[in-house]
A and B are shown apart, each in its own frame.
Chain A
Amino acid sequence: MRRLLFQGIARRALTEKAPPVDDHALKELAARVHERSARRLGRSLAIREIDAGSCNGCELEIHALNNAFYDLERFGFSFVASPRHADVLLVTGPVTKNMREALERTYNAAPDPKWVVAVGNCAFDGGLFAGSYAVEGGVSSVVPVDLHIKGCPPTPHALLRGLLALLESPAGALK
């Protein structure tokens, strides 16, 4: 084990440079994020992930954000275990009817100000599962959404670009 630890010190870090911020996401945010809330949150955001019916593909890629290549925490993001500690709710899935109440309750449990980021094509409009008797069809049909990151699933790179937009200023507001 010691050898592995020493190697870690000697070797160059695997962590890659931050990708450019997603312009599309910036535009969507500009319309929704208020200057005051932005100033209060600063550059440290606590994320609570909620699977509202995803196939688990989005979760796998959200997990990847924590690996050495993407290292999400260097930007001030951290995943937290309770909505009570969260600034950002990262929601995946088409929102199944069986998860609707759990999503609403988790949303209500998160303190204001808060942002909701809908991750994946299912979270956008139900995706592949739109029209089913068992799904609501998109996160915005249940709770207000500030930002959509599309993809099936979005790559960690795309997730990073979207999340970084949260930290960047739509109108100089978020710095």
Chain B
Amino acid sequence: MTMLSALIAKGKLIAHHRPWPRAVVGGEVWRLAVGGLASGNLSLLGLWGDEATTVHMALLDETVVPNAVGVVSFECVNGMFPSIGLSHPPAIRLERTIRDLFGLVPHDAPDQRSWLDHGRWGDGKAAATAYPFLGAEGENLHQIPVGPVHAGIIEPGHFRFTASGETIVRLEERLGYVHKGINALMGGASLERAASLACHTSGDSAVAYAIAFARAAEAALGVTPPPRAVYLRALMAELERIANHLGDFGAICNDASFGLLHAHCGVLRERTLRAAAAAFGHRLMMDCILPGGVEKDLSSDGVLAVRSAIADIQRAFPALVQIYDATASLQDRTVGTGILKPELARKFAAGGYIGRASGRNFDTRRNLVYPPYEALSFDVPVVTPGDVDARVDVRVREIAESLKLVNQILDKLPVGAYREDVPERGGEGIALAEAFRGDVLAWVRLAPNGTIACCHLRDASWFQWPLLEVVVEGNIVADFPLCNKSFNCSYSGHDL
């Protein structure tokens, strides 16, 4: 028996939770789970509050194939739960969020500051509560505050640098600026509205969120979408991955003032988005996926548009990669910059290219395989240097894999229905999907009338943002944009 199944067996199993088990546990088992996280036997997949009474913790066991997932739930006593962050730091920001949004207090938590709550949710006009940043003392240290409004066309967040000359001594992030209250908006929402909210949690990962949400809802309802729908979803997901990787590859080069690759990648990204619009009616493929299937079918014109865009990229992209590899001035900026150590990637269960560039061999499409990926062949590139260059390298290889996947999907695309009606009934479901930046977790509890009773969405960024603070340490301030872009964490997906 694995540690995870032993933990679940010690609790009270919830019958209508699918596909992985959930058990309500007492303080003792909860602490065992925390011990498992701290010792590295388990990884933290998610931690969220539920109706001001319960805290759920999703756990991943990577020692079995395919990996196992389980949820343990703790019913709070006097609004308190034993802190996880105390012995497992990746949980700290999630705990602070639970306190901000649900009023549940992590007992003995190492960080008592609020996180998403800036003290403005009352009438919105109140001045923000003062936020004590962590200190850094020493001779000649100076602080550089950046944001929330940044210089580029990017999302808002605050970075507080402490620097010694050009060298970053400490970076502290303060996020939450784009908190829209998605958790609260989900309560009572219809499946359709909830799917749209999920889609707009992080607009660059609209497809991945929609897939995670739809699969969680389908698990809760006990329905299986038609095979054609599942393939069309994967087609959208791979197009989304290609478009994002192309855009970011160019943008990283641009942050090293190498505009040529940015311009060429921009063209290829645009071709991908136009193909998506031709195939699915929306450039970012928003609101194209619903529980039960997909919004509309793919026409033969759509297939043609996708095939031709893919062929274009397959033709043009290798030359761009060659330029990246052969330009010493560019490599000088990316190689050895912003190194993430494999131990930390593992400890934080960092998903996506951030984990895979630091040796964490994890991809939900393979480790927690979901249809149609069991029928498709693809490699999950993993390297170990952990620097900006390694993250670029992983993304470049993932583009090639996704291009191959798109062709496989189109070759194997089943005929038949693309959508089926879903019943109105209650249940609980959990699902993960691989977004371009890592695993998205969706957990949903449906009320008996089929509306959302509670829904939690966890972006991969939760476990990546804290690592950015670590990797920039000792780098020069001017390399921060490169480190940041090579991570490209989501603000909106994180701030909810």
Contact = CB atoms under 8 A, between A and B. Distances in A.
Contact of A56 (B127, B151, B196, B492): B492
Contacts of B492: 53-56
A97 B124 contact: yes
Contacts of B113: none
Given A59-B155, A133-B184, A53 B178 contact: yes
Interface stretch (A20-28, A62-70, A161-169): A62-70
A3 B149 CA distance: 39
B132 interface: no
Contacts of B273: 64
A1 B247 contact: no
Interface in B344-399: none
A55 B203 contact: yes
A45 B89 CA distance: 47
A109 to B, nearest CB: 9
Interface string B86-123: 00000000000000000000000000000010101100
A4 B270 contact: no
Contact of A133 (B121, B284, B286, B323): B121
B49 interface: no
A63 B267 CA distance: 12
Residue from B127, B197, B203, B327 whose CB has the most chain A CB atoms within 10 Å: B203
Nearest to A136: B124
Interface residues of B, number: 54
A134 B121 contact: yes
Interface in A115-149: 128-129, 131-136
A96 B247 CA distance: 27
A4 to B, nearest CB: 6
B162 interface: no
B178 A54 contact: yes
A93 to B, nearest CB: 7
28 contacts: A3-B319, A4-B320, A4-B323, A53-B178, A53-B492, A55-B203, A55-B492, A57-B200, A57-B286, A60-B204, A61-B284, A68-B263, A69-B267, A83-B149, A93-B178, A97-B118, A97-B124, A98-B116, A98-B177, A99-B177, A102-B148, A102-B149, A102-B156, A102-B177, A128-B185, A132-B184, A132-B185, A152-B200
B179 A98 contact: yes
A31 interface: no
Interface string A76-97: 0001011100000000011011
Contacts of A100: 120, 124-125
